[in-house]
Amino acid sequence: MSVAAAALLAFAMPVQAAQPTAAEAAAFVDKAEKELEALGLESAAASWVQANFITVDTIKLSALNGKRVTTAAVQFATDAKKFDQVQVDPVVRRKLELLKRGTTLPSPKDQAKATELAQIKSELPAMYGAAKWCEGDKCIDGNALEDLMRRERDPQKLLAAWAGWHAQAKPMKAKYARMVELANEGARELGYSDVGALWRSKYDMPPDAFAAETDRLWGQVKPLYESLHCYARGKLNEKYGDAVVSKTGPIPAHVLGNMWAQAWGEIFDVVAPADADPGYDLNKLLKEQNYDPIKITKAGEGFYTSIGFAPLPKTFYERSLFVKPRDREVVCHASAWDLDNKDDLRIKMCMSGTDEDFQVVHHELGHNIYQRAYKNQSPLFRGGANDGFHEAIGDTIQLALTPSYLKQIGLLTAEPDPSKDIGLLLKRAMDKVAFMPFGLLIDRWRWDVFAGKTKPADYEKAWWALREKYQGVKRPLADDADAFDPGAKFHVPGNTPYTRYFLAHVLEFQFHKAACEQAGWTGPLHRCTFYGNKEVGKRYNAMLEMGASKPWPEALKAFTGTDKMDASAMLAYFAPLKTWLDEQNKGRQCGWN
């Protein structure tokens, strides 16, 4: 038809945009699921190889694969919008919504830019994985530096290790800034204001409401965090003196037993109450009883099987990575994998046999157990109810690793008596409560970066402003204009959204409390384990099997009876500790402003 004829026609009758039908929507979703599933399988294998063998070639191959997957996902997200006004059944509607919000760093339509983005996305985690701090020809990798931060108590050595590791991130800065530009272009083409808005859209509620929800949850926890901060700072001040840790200001980031000051359990020796020390150190017990990485993993598996989950497949032990190989570069940051949506589950960790390894194995296996539980869902529903759920499944089991449990598996000979409860709670709080502001601030920083509120020249300043504001932690060195300290944390170069861990720390206490209630537990929450309880396992599995098929409030309700995320379970768990901390803090000036 000629243009003139078309104009005539348009004049003659009202324009009717051809509305796609419900059947077309269902067919579209079906096709998308099939294609994404096939691409997902290929990409899981490519990513596994890249993370286990970092070379220029695996980076290139993984970039090529990443580009294909992202391009397809962006196309499906774009096409899904065509059905916004079509009446479809609720399952198809949910799948369309999942397709629209399904990417993390969407690529621009421009092919050259898509290639560039895929290459950066592949390079950054590889740079992180291969980073080393060298003095002369003596080099220390990230894993060894993390170990040093745990054990060392000499503030000068801690500072040197901290500085050495953080300097490694400098070369990432320009690449990161370019990545932000490119991914934002992709996000805008999809109709989001920026990548941060896309990330906030993944929670079955309006993005702004989600941001407000995280503020609300943080508001619940903040008084407890401030009490813990005040107490820990007081103890650190006693140990190191005013020149290293002041009595009133933020705590320097290098003395908290962790490279990122995100969990403080490793310096329990510095803060332990003299009369309530639980009297056991899992690091020592594991060593004494020859818990090597495999034995640690089997112990983790044992918890899950005790509550009724099937054992891990033989291939899990054949194909997983448990220790850092000596002959090649790998991404050591722990992760859990499902390679075939059937039974090819794996973890990838660089264990050395520490308490932290013991905790992290339970965390990673939680991902595997979830993956297997939802494998029969259709492809778009194979995922966590939200990403916080995925992180919370194994964390909930961590909370059940009580002295009574450790005694049952023979790690401990006697449980500490109730007079040691404050010590037990304090150790747990040093990990779980200390984490909360860190869990929140990483994405606060990224949301501002993606929104353009924080420009590359201010990356560093904005990062430390947030760390000081939320954590009360400061940079232990003078400011450095070239530094890119956010890049020294895996999830920034790894582009893993981080609010998930903040949510997980809220959810795990809700799950734990619900599990203890189901088990008929009436004692204090921190002494509750549901090891061996098949009824709890059955109900846990019922939630896990749902995958992402329903909005997360329904999954939460299925296990806990409530459809709201709520930190009051965490506050209830730590209530005796809060009272004790406030007593200890009398005479101290708390806060850091």
Q: Which residues of this protein are in contact with ligand X8Z, per CB under 6 A?
A: 262, 334-335, 360, 363, 501
Which of helix, strand or coil describes residue 168?
coil
Out of 364, 460, 468, 508, the active site residue is 364
Closest CA to 370 of 534, 533, 555, 105: 555
The bridge status of strand 251-252 relative to strand 473-474 is parallel
Binding-site residues from annotation? 203, 363, 367, 391, 500
Work out what residue 387 binds among Zn ion, ligand X8Z, none; the CB cut-off runs from 5 to 8 Å by kind: none
Nearer to Zn ion, 391 or 431 (CB): 391
Question: How far is C-alpha 526 from the geometric centre of its chain's CA atoms?
Answer: 23
Length of the chain counted residue by residue: 593
What beta strand segments (E) does 317-416 contain?
335-338, 345-348
Q: Please report how close the Cβ of residue 216 comes to Zn ion at its closest, in angstroms.
A: 24
Catalytic residue list contains 229:
no
Work out what residue 371 binds among ligand X8Z, Zn ion, none; the CB cut-off runs from 5 to 8 Å by kind: none
Q: Please report how close the Cβ of residue 265 comes to ligand X8Z at its closest, in angstroms.
A: 12
Nearer to Zn ion, 467 or 505 (CB): 505
The bridge status of strand 251-252 relative to strand 335-338 is unpaired
One-letter amino acid of 265: G
Q: What phi and psi, each to the nearest 5 degrees, are found at residue 210?
A: -65, -45
Task: Report DSSP state, residue 106.
Answer: P
Q: Please report how close the Cβ of residue 43 comes to ligand X8Z at its closest, in angstroms.
A: 18
Which of helix, strand or coil describes residue 474?
strand
Nearer to ligand X8Z, 270 or 334 (CB): 334
Q: Which stretches of the chain bind Zn ion, using CB under 5 A? A: 391
Out of 491, 505, 512, 526, the active site residue is 491
Both tokens assigned to 59: 């980076």
DSSP codes, 186-224: HHHHTT-SSHHHHHHTSSSS-HHHHHHHHHHHHHHHHHH
Q: What phi and psi, each to the nearest 5 degrees, are found at residue 354?
A: -95, 170
Nearer to Zn ion, 367 or 446 (CB): 367
Work out what residue 356 binds among ligand X8Z, Zn ion, none; the CB cut-off runs from 5 to 8 Å by kind: none
Both tokens assigned to 222: 């903040």
Closest CA to 542 of 308, 378, 340, 300: 308
**38-55: string of b/e by CB count within 10 Å (b at 16+)?**
ebbeebbebbbbbbbebe
Gap between the Cα atoms of 271 and 433, Å rounded: 15
Q: Please report how close the Cβ of residue 312 comes to ligand X8Z at its closest, in angstroms.
A: 18
Work out what residue 334 binds among ligand X8Z, Zn ion, none; the CB cut-off runs from 5 to 8 Å by kind: ligand X8Z
Q: Please report how close the Cβ of residue 345 comes to ligand X8Z at its closest, in angstroms.
A: 15
Nearer to ligand X8Z, 100 or 166 (CB): 166
Catalytic residue list contains 364:
yes
Binding-site residues from annotation for chloride? 203, 500
Task: Report DSSP state, residue 171.
Answer: G
Nearer to ligand X8Z, 234 or 487 (CB): 487
Q: Please report how close the Cβ of residue 224 comes to Zn ion at its closest, in angstroms.
A: 23
Work out what residue 236 binds among ligand X8Z, Zn ion, none; the CB cut-off runs from 5 to 8 Å by kind: none
Work out what residue 573 binds among ligand X8Z, Zn ion, none; the CB cut-off runs from 5 to 8 Å by kind: none
**Which residues are marked as active site?**
364, 491
